[in-house]
Amino acid sequence: MTARRPILAVHGGAGPASTEGEAHVAREHALVAALGVGWNVLASGGRAVDAVEQAVASMERSGCFNAGRGAVVDASGAVTLDAAIMDGATRAAGAVGAVGRIAAAVSAARLVMDRTPHVLLVGPLADDFALALGVAPAAAGYFLNAGGGSASGAVPGTVGAVALDSAGHLAAATATGGLSGKLPGRVGDSAVVGAGTWADPTCAVSATGRGEFFIRTAFAHGVACGVSGLGLPLAEAAGRALADVVALAGSGAAGGGCIAVARDGTVTMPFSTPSMYRGIVDGSGAPRVAALADPRF
């Protein structure tokens, strides 16, 4: 098989977040750092699934996004996390939902994929599972917004990564703190394979936005079906799927966006919100990151 040029794309959430000031700069730096971590895997011949896990874990650790350390709180003031990962080469997938005692939910999702016959584990027993297998605990004070510091939802949203490796394999991963002020126990689309996260031999997708609408439209799988079933270009398939989300959500609800890469190396990053933090690296130059509309993407 002819080696492919690897590609890694990441996002830090779509929404109305400010794109000015120190916080904005920190978010862009966090995207660049995540791209660097994931690219190191791909550039050394590593697998797409390893690259997306490490890129997402980097963003969870940064505290700059609504994921991992920077996650927003639920209605009780607690932080709970969701995450999923999927290997497009095999369609193996793992996910966790409503976990609150671990630092990197994507690492727990990877363990579900690799060490169990299941796809999704949720709640305190999912925390127990991850901690028993070595996922770092969230020590006291780890979550920056615990106790209600970000209940307004001012933190940008979900983080995710998609990758194509040199063997031509695809993968996707997504992690989030979920909807600000959500009911305790709520699990969003990030942990639902086919909604916020999907990878198969044709494309890999990671979504961001109001999760209920992405679940109800089976968004990420819909993108893949547009590519593999209808023969649409990746950008058109993603655009159609996002339009379906927006139509279902209605004018009074926030939209969202996604990042996606196809097996031919095509990348698309559509969003219907004022901004979406996103970045890409493919070895042809320095990593590129942006939050607003940008002709480079």
Q: Are strands 197-199 and 256-262 parallel, antiparallel or unpaired?
A: unpaired
3-state secondary structure of 258: strand
How many other CB atoms are there within 10 angstroms of residue 156's CB atom?
28
Of the residues 80, 158, 176, 202, only one is catalytic, namely 158
3-state secondary structure of 250: coil
- CA proximity to 192, closest of 273, 100, 97, 270: 97
Burial 171-203 (b: 16+ CB within 10 A, else e): bbbbbbbbbbbbeeebbbbbbbbbbbbbbbebb
Count of CA atoms in the C-beta half-sphere (13 A) of 296: 12
Task: Pull the structure tokens for residue 222.
Answer: 């819909």
8 Å CB contact between 221 and 178? no
- CA proximity to 176, closest of 69, 82, 75: 82
CA distance 272 to 114: 35
| Residue pointed to by tokens 């932080």 | 79
Contacts of 248 (CB under 8 A, 6+ apart): 213, 216, 217
Task: Pull the structure tokens for residue 13.
Answer: 């959430």
- What residues pair up with 290 in beta bridges, in sequence order? 278
Q: Is 268 a catalytic residue?
A: no
In the chain, % helix, strand, coil (3-state, to 5) comes to: 35, 25, 45
Residues annotated as part of the active site: 158
